[in-house]
């Protein structure tokens, strides 16, 4: 079974600075998807960024980018030019490429709470 | 377009009582998922509906939990009788049919507190 580990329960960053949230995972599959989801306080969880394991290029979405190290099974999220609205709980998640049976579910980490200070 | 809605947002019940959580997915989304987060721990998968059929219920903790999705629209998750360890936030998510690498659209969650 796959597992996802987020070792940083809480992180803090100053506005306009850069912060990196770490995520490691364990799997025996060679192809899979990785995601970062964000849940602001009392709001819905939304997708921030996704990475397909067969793609070597790191995904980027505006101020959000990932550092995907497949051999190390590491998938960190970098937030550049942090804004107050980035304050949220961030969850790393894994999904198999198979789309049948039990494979379509997401496996989440425990989350990292990000605080953004002035 | 309305997002995924969940009701109630917070429920406080005593051990032994029954609670029913409801999820309305985005209209037209065939896939509906239930997840649960116990305080401080990871979000864990409970089950997956495709339309009205249970595709995967491997994450359901025990037979005190019953999920239904009548007519392939909204879904309910009933806990009967509730135990202390059932406390947590229950998330519902939906996605369209055939979306292989798709994002899940989550509701805000229903917080359940069992005293």
Over residues A31-64, the pLDDT tens digits come to 899 999 999 998 899 999 999 999 889 999 999 9
Give me chain A's average pLDDT, please. 93
Flag if A4 and B55 touch (Cβ within 8 Å): no
A88 Cβ under 8 Å from any chain B Cβ: no
Q: Which of A25, A64, A105, A110 to mutate to test the interface with B (most CBs of B within 10 A)?
A: A105
Beta bridge partners of A86: none
C-alpha–C-alpha distance, residues A79 and A90, integer Å: 11
CA distance A41 to chain B (A): 10
pLDDT of B93: 95
Q: Which residues of B touch A35 (CB under 8 A)?
A: 103
Flag if A110 and B42 touch (Cβ within 8 Å): yes
Flag if A111 and B59 touch (Cβ within 8 Å): no
Q: What is the DSSP string of B11-77?
A: EEE-TT--EEEEEE--TT--EEEEEEE-TTS-EEEEEEEETTEEEE-TT--STTEEEE-GGGS-EEE
The length of chain A is 118
B59 Cβ under 8 Å from any chain A Cβ: yes
Q: Which residues of A touch B58 (CB under 8 A)?
A: 102
SS3 state of residue A104: helix
pLDDT of A116: 97
C-alpha–C-alpha distance, residues A49 and A30, integer Å: 20
Find the CB nearest A42 among B4, B44, B108. B108
Q: Are A23 and A79 in contact (CB under 8 A)?
A: no
Q: What percent of chain A has pLDDT over 90?
A: 81
Max Cα–Cα distance, chain A, nearest Å: 47
φ, ψ of residue B36 to 5 degrees: the values are -140, 140
Regions in chain B scoring below 50 on pLDDT: none
A85 Cβ under 8 Å from any chain B Cβ: no
Find the CB nearest A108 among B3, B42, B100. B42
B41 Cβ under 8 Å from any chain A Cβ: yes
C-alpha–C-alpha distance, residues B75 and B101, integer Å: 23
CB pairs under 8 A, 24+ apart, for A49-56? A49/A77, A50/B101, A50/B103, A51/A75, A52/B101, A53/A97
B53-56 and B43-50 beta bridge pairing: antiparallel
pLDDT of A99: 61
Direct distance between the N- and C-terminal alpha carbons of chain B, in angstroms, rounded to an integer: 37
- pLDDT for residue A11 is more than 90: yes
φ, ψ of residue A52 to 5 degrees: the values are -95, 130
pLDDT of A100: 58
A4 Cβ under 8 Å from any chain B Cβ: yes
Q: If you average pLDDT over residues A92-110, what whole number do you get?
A: 80
φ, ψ of residue B72 to 5 degrees: the values are 70, 20
């Amino acid at each position: 079974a796959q597992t996802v580990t987020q070792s940083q329960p809480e992180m803090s960053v100053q506005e306009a600075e850069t912060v990196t949230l770490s995520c490691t995972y364990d799997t025996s599959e060679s192809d899979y998807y990785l995601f970062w989801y964000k849940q602001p306080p009392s709001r819905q969880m939304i997708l921030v960024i996704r990475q397909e394991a067969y793609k070597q290029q790191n995904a980027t979405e505006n101020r959000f980018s990932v550092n995907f190290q497949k051999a190390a099974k590491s998938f960190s999220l970098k937030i550049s030019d942090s804004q107050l609205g980035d304050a949220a709980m961030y969850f790393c998640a894994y999904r198999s490429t198979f789309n049948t049976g039990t494979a379509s579910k997401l496996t989440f980490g425990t989350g990292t709470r990000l605080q953004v200070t002035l | 377009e309305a997002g995924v809605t969940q009701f109630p947002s917070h429920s406080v019940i005593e051990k032994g009582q029954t609670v029913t959580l409801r999820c309305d997915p985005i209209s037209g989304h065939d896939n509906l998922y239930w997840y649960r987060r116990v305080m401080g721990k990871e979000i864990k998968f409970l089950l997956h509906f495709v339309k009205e059929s249970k595709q995967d219920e491997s994450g359901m903790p025990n037979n005190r939990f019953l999920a239904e999705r009548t007519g392939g629209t909204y879904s309910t998750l009933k806990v009967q009788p509730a135990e202390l360890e059932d406390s947590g936030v229950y998330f519902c998510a939906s996605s369209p049919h055939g979306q292989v690498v798709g994002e899940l659209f989550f509701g805000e969650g229903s917080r359940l507190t069992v005293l």
